[in-house]
Protein backbone atom coordinates (compact mmCIF):
# COMPACT_ATOMS: atom_id res chain seq x y z
CA UNK A 1 0.00 0.00 0.00
CA UNK A 2 1.36 3.38 -1.00
CA UNK A 3 1.70 6.11 1.64
CA UNK A 4 1.54 9.71 0.36
CA UNK A 5 1.56 13.09 2.07
CA UNK A 6 0.19 16.28 0.52
CA UNK A 7 0.97 19.49 2.38
CA UNK A 8 0.19 23.14 1.85
CA UNK A 9 3.39 25.13 2.16
CA UNK A 10 6.97 24.46 1.29
CA UNK A 11 9.67 23.65 3.81
CA UNK A 12 12.91 25.53 3.43
CA UNK A 13 16.16 23.62 3.36
CA UNK A 14 17.32 23.08 6.90
CA UNK A 15 16.97 20.84 9.92
CA UNK A 16 13.18 20.47 9.67
CA UNK A 17 13.31 19.25 6.06
CA UNK A 18 16.23 16.96 6.93
CA UNK A 19 14.32 15.46 9.86
CA UNK A 20 11.26 14.71 7.69
CA UNK A 21 13.50 13.15 5.04
CA UNK A 22 15.31 11.03 7.63
CA UNK A 23 12.07 9.63 9.13
CA UNK A 24 10.51 8.98 5.72
CA UNK A 25 13.69 7.27 4.51
CA UNK A 26 13.58 5.02 7.58
CA UNK A 27 9.86 4.37 7.02
CA UNK A 28 10.57 3.43 3.41
CA UNK A 29 13.20 0.91 4.46
CA UNK A 30 11.22 -0.66 7.28
CA UNK A 31 7.92 -0.43 5.40
CA UNK A 32 9.03 -2.37 2.32
CA UNK A 33 8.81 -5.85 3.96
CA UNK A 34 5.37 -4.82 5.31
CA UNK A 35 4.06 -3.92 1.82
CA UNK A 36 4.05 -0.21 2.75
CA UNK A 37 5.65 1.88 0.02
CA UNK A 38 6.02 5.43 -1.22
CA UNK A 39 6.26 7.68 1.80
CA UNK A 40 6.52 10.65 -0.55
CA UNK A 41 5.60 14.28 0.09
CA UNK A 42 3.97 16.65 -2.38
CA UNK A 43 4.30 20.30 -1.44
CA UNK A 44 1.61 22.68 -2.68
CA UNK A 45 1.94 26.45 -2.70
CA UNK A 46 -0.41 28.41 -0.49
CA UNK A 47 -3.35 29.89 -2.36
CA UNK A 48 -3.34 33.63 -2.98
CA UNK A 49 -7.14 33.89 -3.26
CA UNK A 50 -8.75 36.91 -1.61
CA UNK A 51 -10.71 35.21 1.17
CA UNK A 52 -9.96 32.39 3.58
CA UNK A 53 -12.86 30.33 2.19
CA UNK A 54 -11.62 30.76 -1.38
CA UNK A 55 -8.06 29.89 -0.34
CA UNK A 56 -9.22 26.73 1.44
CA UNK A 57 -11.34 25.66 -1.55
CA UNK A 58 -8.47 26.24 -3.99
CA UNK A 59 -6.02 24.40 -1.74
CA UNK A 60 -8.47 21.49 -1.32
CA UNK A 61 -8.63 21.05 -5.11
CA UNK A 62 -4.84 20.99 -5.30
CA UNK A 63 -4.54 18.57 -2.37
CA UNK A 64 -7.10 16.17 -3.89
CA UNK A 65 -5.26 16.23 -7.21
CA UNK A 66 -1.93 15.49 -5.52
CA UNK A 67 -3.04 12.32 -3.72
CA UNK A 68 -3.50 8.83 -5.13
CA UNK A 69 -6.89 7.07 -5.15
CA UNK A 70 -7.51 5.43 -1.80
CA UNK A 71 -7.97 6.39 1.82
CA UNK A 72 -7.78 10.07 2.78
CA UNK A 73 -6.61 11.08 6.26
CA UNK A 74 -6.84 14.70 7.38
CA UNK A 75 -4.57 16.08 10.08
CA UNK A 76 -6.64 18.56 12.06
CA UNK A 77 -6.77 19.64 15.69
CA UNK A 78 -10.48 18.69 15.83
CA UNK A 79 -9.75 15.12 14.71
CA UNK A 80 -9.58 11.87 16.61
CA UNK A 81 -6.63 11.31 18.92
CA UNK A 82 -4.92 7.97 18.29
CA UNK A 83 -2.05 6.40 20.14
CA UNK A 84 0.82 5.04 18.08
CA UNK A 85 -0.30 1.41 18.34
CA UNK A 86 -3.82 2.24 17.10
CA UNK A 87 -2.39 4.36 14.28
CA UNK A 88 -0.18 1.46 13.18
CA UNK A 89 -3.07 -1.00 13.48
CA UNK A 90 -5.28 1.20 11.30
CA UNK A 91 -2.63 1.36 8.59
CA UNK A 92 -2.31 -2.44 8.75
CA UNK A 93 -6.10 -2.88 8.47
CA UNK A 94 -6.25 -0.70 5.37
CA UNK A 95 -3.31 -2.59 3.87
CA UNK A 96 -4.86 -5.95 4.70
CA UNK A 97 -8.19 -4.81 3.21
CA UNK A 98 -6.36 -4.29 -0.08
CA UNK A 99 -6.52 -0.50 -0.11
CA UNK A 100 -4.10 0.80 -2.74
CA UNK A 101 -3.01 3.96 -0.93
CA UNK A 102 -3.39 6.22 2.08
CA UNK A 103 -3.03 9.94 1.52
CA UNK A 104 -2.36 12.25 4.46
CA UNK A 105 -3.44 15.89 4.17
CA UNK A 106 -1.72 18.78 5.97
CA UNK A 107 -3.55 22.07 5.49
CA UNK A 108 -2.29 25.60 5.31
CA UNK A 109 -2.55 28.59 7.61
CA UNK A 110 -6.31 28.88 7.07
CA UNK A 111 -6.93 25.19 7.75
CA UNK A 112 -8.58 22.68 5.44
CA UNK A 113 -11.80 23.24 3.50
CA UNK A 114 -14.65 21.87 5.72
CA UNK A 115 -16.23 19.95 2.81
CA UNK A 116 -12.90 18.25 2.15
CA UNK A 117 -12.53 17.38 5.85
CA UNK A 118 -16.04 15.85 5.88
CA UNK A 119 -15.16 13.71 2.84
CA UNK A 120 -12.13 12.16 4.59
CA UNK A 121 -12.05 8.56 5.71
CA UNK A 122 -10.40 9.63 8.96
CA UNK A 123 -9.45 12.90 10.63
CA UNK A 124 -6.58 12.62 13.10
CA UNK A 125 -5.36 15.09 15.69
CA UNK A 126 -1.88 15.12 17.15
CA UNK A 127 -3.19 17.57 19.75
CA UNK A 128 -6.06 19.99 20.28
CA UNK A 129 -3.43 22.69 19.77
CA UNK A 130 -2.73 24.13 16.32
CA UNK A 131 0.75 23.35 14.98
CA UNK A 132 2.64 24.89 12.06
CA UNK A 133 2.67 22.68 8.96
CA UNK A 134 6.42 22.09 9.31
CA UNK A 135 6.03 20.54 12.77
CA UNK A 136 2.98 18.52 11.71
CA UNK A 137 4.98 17.12 8.82
CA UNK A 138 7.80 16.12 11.17
CA UNK A 139 5.36 14.50 13.63
CA UNK A 140 3.57 12.62 10.84
CA UNK A 141 6.84 11.38 9.34
CA UNK A 142 7.97 10.13 12.74
CA UNK A 143 4.64 8.40 13.40
CA UNK A 144 4.74 6.71 10.00
CA UNK A 145 8.21 5.41 10.80
CA UNK A 146 7.06 4.39 14.29
CA UNK A 147 4.08 2.55 12.74
CA UNK A 148 6.40 0.49 10.54
CA UNK A 149 8.53 -0.43 13.55
CA UNK A 150 5.46 -1.39 15.59
CA UNK A 151 4.13 -3.57 12.76
CA UNK A 152 7.51 -5.27 12.30
CA UNK A 153 8.17 -5.79 16.03
CA UNK A 154 11.26 -3.53 15.96
CA UNK A 155 12.28 -2.19 19.41
CA UNK A 156 12.16 1.51 18.35
CA UNK A 157 8.69 1.80 19.89
CA UNK A 158 8.78 1.16 23.61
CA UNK A 159 5.17 1.77 24.60
CA UNK A 160 3.56 0.47 27.77
Q: Are 62 and 44 in contact (CB under 8 A)?
A: yes
119 labelled ligand-binding = no
128 labelled ligand-binding = yes
Q: What are phi and psi of 45, to 5 degrees?
A: -65, 145
125 labelled ligand-binding = no
The two most distant CA atoms of the chain are separated, in Å, by: 49
Q: Compute CA distances 5 → 22, 42, 111, 117, whole Å.
A: 15, 6, 16, 15
* Cβ neighbours, 10 Å, residue 93: 10
94 labelled ligand-binding = no
For the CA atoms of 88, 91, 92, 96, the dihedral, rounded to the nearest 10 degrees, stands at: 170
Binding site as annotated, residues for S-adenosyl-L-methionine: 75, 107, 126-131
Annotated binding residues: 75, 107, 126-131
Amino acid sequence: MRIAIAAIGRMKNGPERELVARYLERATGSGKPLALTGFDVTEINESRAGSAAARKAEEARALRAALPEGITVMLDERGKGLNSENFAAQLARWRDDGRPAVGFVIGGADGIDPDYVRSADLTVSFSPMVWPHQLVRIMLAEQLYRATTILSGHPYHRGD
